[in-house]
């Protein structure tokens, strides 16, 4: 067993696996964070419909029209980002994957790619 300190509540917890020390979160904080993330994401379908009307049906990065656009949070919900017009953008699956890979090729429109 390994002993790690939670980065959120600073409690120490034993675990059978070796997490990255810099971002270990205990089971209680994980549960609280998951509940908060779920609550923050509520209303996503209504927002997507609104964004499609306002911004159109093309990816906001590559401008290719698509029927399957994904809502991407510029500031991740896990880092306190809200599900609002200002913090979201409609992107195609390819661009969404690249955003999460933090690809250098996507230095788009002056936005920064947030770390996880």
In this predicted structure, what is the pLDDT of residue 41?
Answer: 59
| Mean of pLDDT values over 27-32 | 80
Residue of higher predicted confidence among 77 and 63 = 63
In this predicted structure, what is the pLDDT of residue 65?
Answer: 94
pTM above the 0.85 mark? no
| Mean of pLDDT values over 67-81 | 84
DSSP state for residue 71 in the 8-state scheme: E
pLDDT in tens, 79-91: 788 888 898 899 9
Round the average pLDDT of the chain to a whole number and report it. 76
Secondary structure of residue 99 in the 3-state scheme:
helix
Residue spans per domain, the chain: 2-38, 43-101
How many other CB atoms are there within 10 angstroms of residue 14's CB atom?
Answer: 8
CA 15 to chain centre: 26
pLDDT in tens, 34-50: 776 666 555 678 888 88
Backbone angles phi, psi at 93, to 5 degrees: -60, -40
């Amino acid at each position: 067993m390994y002993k790690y300190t939670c980065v959120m509540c600073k409690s120490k917890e034993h675990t059978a696996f070796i997490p990255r020390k810099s971002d270990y979160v205990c089971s209680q904080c994980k549960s609280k964070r998951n509940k908060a993330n779920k609550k923050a994401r509520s209303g996503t379908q209504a927002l997507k419909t609104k964004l499609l009307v306002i911004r159109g049906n093309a990816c906001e990065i590559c401008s290719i029209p698509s029927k399957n656009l994904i809502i991407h949070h510029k500031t991740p919900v896990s880092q306190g980002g809200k599900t609002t017009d200002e913090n979201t953008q409609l992107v195609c699956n390819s661009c969404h994957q690249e955003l999460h890979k933090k690809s250098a090729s996507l230095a788009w429109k002056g936005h920064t790619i947030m770390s996880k």
